[in-house]
Structure 1
Amino acid sequence: MSEQPITIEENGKCLQALVQLQDHNIALLFANYIATQGIASKVVATQDHSFVVFCQQDSLAQAKAEFDAFIQHPYDGKYQQAAWQHGDTVEVRANDLTLLKSFKENFLSHAGMMTLTVFALCWLVFLASILGWAQPIFSSVKFYHQLSVDAFLHEPLRLLGPAIFHFSWLHIVFNTMWWWQIGGSIEKLLGKGVLINLTLISAIGSNVGQFIVSGPNFGGLSGVVYALVGFVWWYGYLKPDSGLTLSKPIIGFLLFWLLLGFAELLPVNMANTAHLIGLISGCLYAIFTVKVANK
């Protein structure tokens, strides 16, 4: 007699056990991904501290095919993106990984060395600034008072310096969140070389543009963040099967935010020129990466 499949009821749907995994985060990553594909899913912890992924019984064949592809490259950008958009809907129980450990593993697994280094640098500078060293730090990293070849040769890092300085909690949380999310996906899928080039091009371009418009008193990673948005937007458009995409609502929100800045309808000062130049540079670099570099 054949063994009966293990099933559970969830929101009126019959879910069947698909696969048992030892890593909670891998199980969540896959469950969240198939949920975005229209397959109801749930992760259930077992007594031996493993995790069973249940999926919609009438979509079992599709879920099996998705898992075969997933397990070959579990940290592919499309799975990370789906998990981030869908969110973790699984209850965390006492025998699961602790919240801190789970967060740490997800945070580190999504980002490469370049992503984590810039993230840490921005936060170290910000924390030092709120502890009383804001003025000397900003004086050290702010853009040139007058842009010239001599100024560049004397202090070349000022060309990039403003990108690592942030003026408020909202400023740094917004920028580093998007940097980690989008930059991590780019680095994981295309390598740190692409992310380094994109960061340098957009930081220099957006800093120079903002200086020309408003002078040297600006800062933040937002010009680079908009470059990441533009890059993923056009890379995903040119290579839709690459797994590197942003949803249309997210792109629409960030473009709308950009327009609000230019319309001066926001209660904060925005480096609008840096945002626009960053966005354009990211789009152009995506076209170059696909059409010329063939990545």
Structure 2
Amino acid sequence: MSASNATDELSPLIQVKQHNIALLFANYLTSLNIDAKVQKNDSDYIIYCATSKIDQAKEIFAEFIADPYQEKYQQAAWQSGQVAQVQDNSPSLITSFKEQFFAHAGGVTLTIFALCWLVFIASLLGFARPTFELLHFYPKLTLEAFFASPLRLLGPALFHFSWLHIVFNTMWWWQLGGSVERTLGKGALINLFLITALVSNLGQFMVSGPNFGGLSGVVYGLVGYVWWYGWLAPEKGLMISKPIIGFLLFWLLLGYADVLPVNMANTAHLLGLISGCLLAAVKVLLMKGTRS
């Protein structure tokens, strides 16, 4: 994060215990064009800010500390991409990452995240074939097949074929799913997972058959949901930046252009995106309808 070149222009604002909280707030101040930095002081961290902005920063901190994991604070940290200077005895990167990882994600987000990785690790340990047979979509979709193994309707979302595949999908699931769960609650994320997984899996099966897998249909559902929810109800603070939307839409087009070195479940991606957008629109319309 940027800090004033002249240290005497900065004054101590507040002292906190947690390193990640200090960094998060300093990043947010920087996003508001208020120079800020973090310094280690024994076991605590002091946030400094521009002396002329002290009163304003105190008011901002009072709002921040009431709910420091709002989307706008996370967004400022992501957009900053910079690190405050602290002394060498500050908490390790692993400790800071672990705190941030669990602070951002709720129980539903972490459960799906863990299931994907458990399935992937099982496949690496020599259980790829039995795991895939347990989770892959039905060779022929019938009521008898469904009642015999209902999990297979959603199961492909949990199975991944490579390191790149699972890292890409679970990273976006953690980021976007965590934001949805914290903002709208566990029920909203469960419904979103179930519907987008069902729609994307059914669509991909009808186009290419049962041999597909991955959470990417759900991830594109999350992209569409957060995108449209942020557009239709920006006051909720659930949003995704336009460059990220552009990148993921471009990635979708590359899949259809068939220029990527991997096979893409294009139908799952597209139907996931569309279903996520529509779910967000319905959610916002119902929410505004109950208020009127």
| Short-chain TM bin | over 0.9
Please state how far the C-alpha of 1:57 moved relative to its aligned partner. 3.4
Displacement over 6 Å in runs of 4+: none
Contact 1:26 1:74 in 2 (8 A): yes
**1 CA distance for matches of 2:199 and 2:54?**
50
Q: Does residue 185 in structure 1 map to residue 179 in structure 2?
A: yes
Please state how far the C-alpha of 1:278 moved relative to its aligned partner. 0.6
Secondary structure in 2 matching 1:42: strand
| Of 202, 215, 225, the match for 2:219 | 225
Structure 2: which 5+ runs fail to align? Answer: none
Write 1 or 2 for the structure with the bigger share of helix: 2
1:173 counterpart residue number = 167
1:139 counterpart residue number = 133
Contact 2:4 2:50 in 1 (8 A): no
2:210 counterpart residue number = 216
Secondary structure in 2 matching 1:45: strand
Aligned residue pairs total 286
Please list, as runs of the form range in 1=range in 2, the aligned pairs for 1:270-281 lying within 5 A after superposition.
270-281=264-275
**2 CA distance for matches of 1:39 and 1:255?**
34
**2 CA distance for matches of 1:150 and 1:11?**
71
| Of 95, 120, 124, the match for 1:130 | 124
Contact 1:18 1:52 in 2 (8 A): yes
**1 CA distance for matches of 2:28 and 2:235?**
15
Please state how far the C-alpha of 1:221 moved relative to its aligned partner. 0.2
Scaled by the length of structure 1, the TM-score of the pair is: 0.92
Q: Does residue 291 in structure 1 map to residue 247 in structure 2?
A: no
Secondary structure in 2 matching 1:44: strand
Q: Does residue 40 in structure 1 map to residue 35 in structure 2?
A: yes
Summarize deviations over 1:122-146 as a string: whole Å, max 9, x none.
0111111112111111111000101
**2 CA distance for matches of 1:122 and 1:78?**
28
Structure 1: which 5+ runs fail to align? Answer: 1-8
1:121 counterpart residue number = 115
Please state how far the C-alpha of 1:88 moved relative to its aligned partner. 4.6
**2 CA distance for matches of 1:132 and 1:103?**
30
**1 CA distance for matches of 2:265 and 2:283?**
27
1:79 counterpart residue number = 73
Secondary structure in 2 matching 1:10: coil
Secondary structure in 2 matching 1:220: coil
Please state how far the C-alpha of 1:31 moved relative to its aligned partner. 1.1
| Of 191, 202, 207, the match for 1:197 | 191
Please state how far the C-alpha of 1:86 moved relative to its aligned partner. 2.1
Summarize deviations over 1:205-240 as a string: whole Å, max 9, x none.
000000001100100000000111111101111111
| Of 54, 58, 66, the match for 2:60 | 66
Identity of aligned residues (%): 62
| Of 11, 17, 27, the match for 2:12 | 17
